[in-house]
Amino acid sequence: MAASVVPSLEAGKVTDQAVSELRESALRSRFWQTRFGDWLLKKFWKSWLGLWFTKHFGKATPEELHGYAYWGPVALAIAVTEILGALSKTLRDFIPWPRSQGRSVIWRISIASGPLLLLR
Residue-level pLDDT at 92: 73
Is it the case that residue 2 has pLDDT exceeding 70?
no
Predicted confidence (pLDDT) per residue in 13-39, tens digit:
888 888 888 777 777 778 878 889 888
Residue-level pLDDT at 31: 81
Q: Would you say 104 and 81 are in contact if contact means Cβ atoms under 8 Å apart? A: yes
Q: Which residues contact 21 (CB under 8 A, 6 or more apart)?
A: 7, 8
